[in-house]
Each structure stands twice: as structure tokens, then as C-alpha cells.
Structure 1
Amino acid sequence: MRIAIFVETYLPYLNGVVTHVKILREGLIHNGHEVLIVTADKTVKEHVLEDGVLRCPALEVKKIYGYGLSSPISLTLMKRIKEFRPDVIHIQQEFSIGLAGVRAARALHLPLIYTLHTMYDDYIYYIAPGPLTGIARRVSHNYVRFIARRADIVTSPSKKCLDYLSNAGVHRKVYVIPNSVELDDYSETATTPEQRAAIRERYHIPADAFVACFCGRIGKEKGVDNLIKLWHAQCGGDPSLYLMIIGEGPFRKELEALAQSYGLGGRIIFTGAVPHEQISPYYACCNAYATASLSEMYSISMLEAQASGLPVVQWLDPDNIDQIKVGVNGYLFETAEEFGRIIHQLADVTPEQRVELAKRVRDSVKERSSDSIANYLLDLYQQAINKHR
């Protein structure tokens, strides 16, 4: 089968959607299928096709994490899609490139798959000031509805999307396909003791300290400010407890100032952006993953942490509860006191108990390999082809 996947950003740019598409692409290719990635790229001046990735020239949108917006109407783009001769088009995001995918599917009479990754209501503040939030939300709902109604199949990594789509006026079957992870990249043997020790040394973390981490885009929607407040209230008095914030984003300076105001500048660490191929030792040098975000749709960062053997401590999110098996690969909290109790309990486990816990956590995500998501989507691609005919 020949699959054209449309995504607004792709490697070397990194976010959860990019990671999802990278894993899907690898799984499809491993199973003998051909894949073309179509993406916007603000660094190119003309359409560039290299190693199965078609990069379309784009204008940078600095306010939205440096995304680029490409023209959805392009004769060159359409020519390249025709030359690839796809059996199906799969759009992973809804902006300029996603719209180009919708247009290509319609022009070439091809089945269209649409995957919703993002709860856009949580991101409205990036593009609209407070008084215009309601209008912007209605516009975004109308646009998502426009895309979804033109797709033969709609998927999402989380059940959380069902309420969102319903609020947007989309009432149809949605296939929930949890994200996958490259298990080998986060296995017990993927990093060395020297690599783990080097990261702790770089950030002046004692070898015997307990470290919880969060990894992701540092934006308001990720709730990292709440995580820091929880850490201050429940863990700030224990000098053996450290929190590592991995990632970059527009909210970072404010969060660093917040940590400094609590006197925790040395024990709440901001690493900045870390290339994806270098992220595994960061997880491996930690003891747990903590998050207070309510905007996730089956978080890939959490999944990578679990593949690294880290139990997840997550603020209860009823609409996205499936990723945690309490007592197996993570713990849920609803109050600051519960958060503190969980962190202190994890910090107090013996080395033997920690090894056993890590194995249990890794085992819980073994079915989330790249082949699993590829095989599931191949079935949906065939359904879309049959339905479109």
C-alpha cells in the first residue's frame, strides 16, 4: 500500500505528533509499505523531496512554537502527490498542510483518514486574547467539523477526543488508537551507567537523590506551573528530592522565576530542549515521571517514560485515564497531599523494589510497539478504501 501522510511539522522539529508520525512511518515501512511524508518547512524556499519526505516552503509563525504555514494550494505539491500515486491520504493535523491533504484527497478521488491529536480549546489563548476566546473557539470548532466531515475515517489517540468532537458538532464513529513508542530506544540496555551519571553530574544532582521528571512543550496548557507549586508545597523541604523539567517553550522564563521565588532554583532543573535521539538517558537517570497537565491525549512523553521503567504520577484526568494502571505503571492524585504521599513513597523504595517496579512498568507498555499501530491503521486504511469505493 502507498500512504501519503500530511503533518504540519516533521523531523528535526520535535513534538508529540511528530514522534507519532515517525513511529507510524517506521512501522509501515517495516511491514513493506511505501510512505510519503508531506510537511511544511520554513527553512526551504521550494518544494524539496528527500528520503520520502516532501518539504513545502512555509512562513514561520513564531507565536505558535515556530510552526510554519505553507500554502494549501500548490500545483507543485499536487504534482508530487500524483507522482507518488497514493492509495490513501492520512492527515495528522488541520492547518495549511492538513488542508492541502483534504484538497488532494478530493482532487484525486482518494480515501481520507483524519487523526485528531489536539484539544484545541486548551490552546486558544495562543491566538486570541481573552475577550475573543469564545469567537475563536467557535471558529476552531467549525474548522475541525469541516475537516472531520470530509474524512472517510476519523481516529484519535484518546477517548478524550469524543467529547471535544461532540462539542464541535461532529457526531460519528471515532477509532481510538493509543500512541506507540519505540521500545528498544528506552529499554534497560539502551543507556549506560556512565550516561546516566553524566546527566546527573551536569545538573549537580547527587547520585542518591530521587528525581522526578516532566518532558514536553513548556506552555501554559501543560500545567507545569501547577507541578512546581505542588513540588514546593509537598517536596520543597526535602533536599534529596529533585524535579527535572525537560523541554522548551514560551512559558519557561516565568516557570524558572517561579521556582526561584520558592528558593528551589537548584532542585527544580530546566534542561531546555533535548534532541529526541538524546532523550533516553534523561529518562533513565530519573526515578519517576510527574505531570499536572490536563491537556494530554495519550501522552507520548509519558509513554516513553513508562518504556524507560518510570512510574507516572499523574493528576487525575477522567477523560484520559486509560494510560495509567494504578499500582502497575503509575499513580493518580487529586490533592496536593496525595501527590506528596506518592512522591515520598516512591522515594523510599529499596533498590530491589525499584528494579521490580521498573520491570513491571516496562512490561505494561510492551504492546505499544510501532508495528502494533501500523497494523491497526492498515486495517483502517483498507476500510477507508472500501468505503470510498
Structure 2
Amino acid sequence: MKVLLTTDTFSPSINGVVISVTNLYKELTKRGHEVRILTLSNTGYSYKEGDVYYLRSFNARIYPGARGTLSYKNRFINEIIEWSPDIVHSHTEFCTLIHAKYIRKRLRIPHVHTYHTMYEDYLCYIFKGKLMSRRRAMNLIKKLIGSVDEIITPTQKARGSLIAYGVDKPISIIPTGIDLSRFAIGQQHIKKVNELKEKIGIKEDDKILIFLGRIGKEKNIDEIIINVNELYKELNIKMLIVGGGPYMDNLKKLVGELSLEKNIIFTGMVSPDEVPLYYSLANIFVTASTSETQGLTYIEALASGLPVVCRYDEAVEGLIVNGFNGYMYRNKDEFKKSIKSLLNQNDDAQELRIKAKNSVERFSLNVFASDIERLYLRHVR
């Protein structure tokens, strides 16, 4: 089968969509399918690199990192049409979705779409929150993806959101898979973790909480910092905030106001290869976000053997099971109780790590690719 994947964001950018598209490309290729990717370049020119077509683009200034393109009669589009894919699978709702619709129309092939982003949680970034209301966002998304043959969402939460928008296309729930093998621990891994501990200044008896991801207002990291402020005097804990984003200065200001500079450590952006090392530094993954469509970092943390303490969110129902691989909390007291409970389970720490790892086997790349492949075959005649 020939499969065209389209996305407005791709390597060298790092985010959940990029990870999903990259993993899908690799797994489908392993299964013998011919796969190509159409995306936007971070430069002013178009180019092809292996199976990836990069179309020239510009800074759209709609929200941080957004790219736009006027390249709709590009020679690469004609090359893709000549290649004649059997199905097109779009992963973002804007520029390359238009290309996907055009290619679908020209070739009369099926078009499926994965809805990765809950845009109602990100309206503050779109034109700085001044032009796009929730109702307008709902109508826009409905219009953009209303013509595809089938929609994929990673969770029931995202599916329910689209139904509330009035989208009446078939919607299948297929959780995004991750490469679980990346988080296996070997001797070389342990050596690098110990070197990282020394570099950051983590002592053997420190209890480490970690947040890893995009540093945005919607992630609600302020709440975690305020909760940690009430815990650090009772417990010997430190918190790592790993990642970068537009809300970083706000968080650093809050940490300064609370005099938590010795307890809250900002690492900044780290390379994908280092991500498993940072998970291995910690005892618990913490997050107060309710803007997730699936929570890939939750799965990565569990795959690393970390229990997760997160604010209750429909997107992670069934993923986080209270007392088994972590806790979902609804208020400050429940957060503090969850952290204390997990850190006091010294005798059961190894058992907890095993439970955490075992709880994410269903998110393997093999399961993910098999589910996507079956969906494709329903549409390709």
C-alpha cells in the first residue's frame, strides 16, 4: 500500500505530532508499505529529504511556531500525484490539510485524519487570544475536517469533543504508540544517569518529582510548584522541570517569589536521546495539565517505571489507576496525600515500577501500527 502522511510540523521540531508521524512512518515502512511525508520546511525554500517533502513556508504569527505556505502549485505536489498514493492520512488541521484534500480529490482516494490537538485549550496562543473564540474554533475545526472519510482520535475525550463540535464523520479511537524500548534500563544507561545526577546536583537521598514537556500556560505547572512549596519542608524533595516554552519566565518568577530556587530545577530543552535519562532521575512524574488529548509523556514516564500523579482528566482515565501505577487528584490535599503515599512505599518501590511498566504495553508501536493498518484497509479498495 502507498501511504501519504501530511503534517504542518515535522523534524527538526519536537512535539507529540512529530513523534506520532515519525513512529507511524517507521512502523508502516517495516511492514512493507511505501510511505511518504508531506510537511512544511522551516526555511524559505522547498526541498526533499528521503521520503519527506518539505514545502517552503513562512512564520504565520498566528501562534508561536506556526508556519504558513503559499506553495500550492509546488512541483512536489505534482510528484506525489504521479506517485499515486492509495490513501492520504493528514495529522494537522491547516496548511497541509489543504494539500491533502487537493491530492485526495485529484486521485479520488480515501482521506483519513488524526485529531491530535484540543484547540479550545490553546486559544490564548491564537492571535494572542483576541480573535478566536471557542465557538469560532469549533466551527472552524468542523469545517476543516468535515470532508474526510474517517477521523482518528487518541482518546474518548478527544472523540467526545469532536462530537460536541457537531462533527458527524466516523470517529475511531486509536491511541498513539511510542517506542517502549527507548526506556529500557541497561548498564550504560545507569552510568549516564549517575553522571547527570552529579551534573544537576541531585544527592542520593533526594526524592525527585519531574515534569517533562512543553512549558505552556495550559500545562498548569504553577499549580504543581505551589503544591511542592507546601511539601518540600515535610519531605526531602526536589522537582525537575524539563522542557522549554512560552511560559518559562512566568514559572521562574513564581519560583523566585516562593524562594524555591534550590528545590525547583529548570533544565531547559533536552534532546530526545536524553529524555529517558531524565525520567530515570526521578521518583514520580507530576502534572496538573487538563489539556491533553492522550498524554504521551504520561506513557513515557510509566514505561520508565515512574508512577504518575496527575490532575483528574478524562483523557487519562484507564491509563492512570489509583494505587496501581499512580494517582489522579482533584485538589491540593489529594495531591499531597498521593505524593506522600508513593514516597513512603519504599518496600514496594520495585513492585510499583514493574506495575507502571506493564500498564503501558498496549501503547507499543506494534499495536499502534496494526490498528492504523486495519483502518486503512477498510477504506482502500
TM-score (norm 2): 0.95
Structure 1 gap segments, 5+ residues each? none
**Equivalences, count:** 381
Q: Which residue matches 2:215? A: 218
In 1: Cα distance, 2:158 partner to 2:31 partner: 29
Of residues 361, 370, 374, the one that matches 2:365 is 370
Matches within 5 A, 1:29-178: 29-43=29-43, 45-61=44-60, 64-71=63-70, 73-129=72-128, 132-134=131-133, 137-178=134-175
Of residues 241, 245, 255, the one that matches 2:251 is 255
Query: What SS does the corresponding residue of 1:38 show, helix, strand or coil?
Result: strand
Q: Which residue matches 2:177? A: 180
Q: Which residue matches 2:380? A: 385
Query: What SS does the corresponding residue of 1:66 show, helix, strand or coil?
Result: coil
Query: What SS does the corresponding residue of 2:57 show, helix, strand or coil?
Result: strand
Checking the alignment, whether the CA contact within 8 Å between 1:190 and 1:280 is kept in structure 2 is no
Report the alpha carbon displacement of residue 93 of structure 1 after superposing the two structures with TM.
0.6
Query: What SS does the corresponding residue of 1:270 show, helix, strand or coil?
Result: strand
In 2: Cα distance, 1:228 partner to 1:266 partner: 13
Checking the alignment, whether the CA contact within 8 Å between 2:92 and 2:114 is kept in structure 1 is yes
In 2: Cα distance, 1:174 partner to 1:190 partner: 44
Deviations 1:350-389 (A, max 9, x none): 2x52222111111111221111111111111111224xxx
Report the alpha carbon displacement of residue 57 of structure 1 after superposing the two structures with TM.
1.0
In angstroms, what is the RMSD of aligned CA positions? 1.8
Checking the alignment, whether the CA contact within 8 Å between 2:294 and 2:315 is kept in structure 1 is no
Checking the alignment, whether the CA contact within 8 Å between 1:17 and 1:92 is kept in structure 2 is yes
User: Is the alpha carbon distance of 1:99 and 1:230 closer, same or farther for their aligned partners in structure 2, counting shifts above 3 Å?
Assistant: farther
Query: What SS does the corresponding residue of 1:322 show, helix, strand or coil?
Result: coil
Report the alpha carbon displacement of residue 252 of structure 1 after superposing the two structures with TM.
0.3
Report the alpha carbon displacement of residue 72 of structure 1 after superposing the two structures with TM.
5.9
In 2: Cα distance, 1:375 partner to 1:181 partner: 13
Q: Which residue matches 1:295? A: 291
Report the alpha carbon displacement of residue 166 of structure 1 after superposing the two structures with TM.
2.4
Of residues 340, 343, 364, the one that matches 1:347 is 343
TM-score (norm 1): 0.93
Checking the alignment, whether the CA contact within 8 Å between 1:191 and 1:284 is kept in structure 2 is no
Query: What SS does the corresponding residue of 1:192 show, helix, strand or coil?
Result: helix
Counterpart code for 1:18: V
Checking the alignment, whether the CA contact within 8 Å between 1:181 and 1:307 is kept in structure 2 is no
Of residues 282, 285, 307, the one that matches 1:286 is 282
* Matching of residue 312 in structure 1 with residue 311 in structure 2: no
Structure 2 gap segments, 5+ residues each? none
* Matching of residue 17 in structure 1 with residue 12 in structure 2: no
